[in-house]
Amino acid sequence: MRVRVIVIVIVIENWRKIKFDYEHERDHDYEAKAMMKPSFIRVVIDRGIHREFDYAVPETLAERISVGSRVRVPFRDKSALGTVVATLEQSDAKGIRPIEAVVGEAPIVSGPVLELGKWMSDYYCCPLETVMRSLLPQVIRKGEVGWKKQLFIQPGHKIDNGEIEKLRRRAPRQAELLEAIAQLKTPMPAAKLLRKVSLDNQTLRNPTRSTRG
C-alpha cells in the first residue's frame, strides 16, 4: 500500500510540473504546431509493438490532424488505431504509407496528458502505447466515439400565446414544452430544457406539428 501511495504522489507532482511547463514554455507550443499542415506524423499504435511508426498525411486530412489526434492507420495487412505523438516535415523511414482516417473532429489527447504519458513511460520503463491505453477511455481506444455532440434549442420564430393555446387543446404536454421554448432568450441544451419541464425526447420531436393543417 505504501508503494502505491508513493507512486500516486510522484505522478501528481510530475503532472503539476508538466502542466506548468506546458503553459509557460514556448518550446512546447502545441497550439502553434496544430496550425501547421504536417506532411508526415509519428504514431503510437494501440498494440504491444514497443516502437513508433511514421505515416504520410493526405492533403485532404492535413488540416484536421495534429499532435494528440487519434488516427486509423494501415498496419501490416490490417487497420489499427493509434495516437499522433509528433508531426514531421519529412521522414527517413522507408515504405511509408498514408493514414486512412482521422478519428474525431479535434485532438483527443491534450499536450500535457501526452507529456505525462511520455514521462510515465520513461520513469516506469514501459512502452508508451501501454501508458496510452491506461490514459484513454475504452470507447476512445475502440474508435467508437470522438467528441460528444450536444443538441441546443432556441425558437425558430416568435411564438405567440394564441399558437400555444391552440396546441394546448390538442396536445397539452407539447404545448407546455413550446411555452418553455418561447421563453428562451439564448439557446439551451435540450437535455436541460427537458429536465426543467419534466418531459422526454418524444415530446421534443415536433411540438408544433399538430397546429399545422
Mean pLDDT of the chain: 77
Amino acid at 79: S
CA distance to 133, 178, 182, per residue, from 158 (Å) = 50, 11, 7
Whole-prediction pTM value? 0.54
pLDDT at residue 7 is higher than 70: no
Taking the domains of the chain in order of start, what are their residue ranges? 36-141, 152-211
pLDDT confidence of residue 1 = 42
Measured between alpha carbons, how far is 170 from 178 in angstroms, rounded to an integer? 13
Is residue 116 within 8 A of residue 82, CB to CB? The reply is no
Type and span of the H or E element at 88: strand 78-88
Number of C-beta neighbours around residue 72 at 10 A: 15
**112: which 3 cell numbers?**
500535457
> Which class in CATH covers the domain with range 36-141?
alpha beta
Q: What is the pLDDT of residues 45-72, one digit of tens each?
A: 988 778 899 999 999 999 889 999 999 9
Measured between alpha carbons, how far is 42 from 35 in angstroms, rounded to an integer? 17
Residue 144's pLDDT band (boundaries 50, 70, 90)?
Answer: low
Is residue 190 within 8 A of residue 153, CB to CB? The reply is yes
**Matching residue, cell 418531459:** 199
Residue 147's pLDDT band (boundaries 50, 70, 90)?
Answer: low
Q: What is the pLDDT of residues 122-139, one digit of tens each?
A: 888 888 888 888 888 776
Q: Identify the CA nearest to 87 among candidates 61, 121, 125, 112.
A: 61
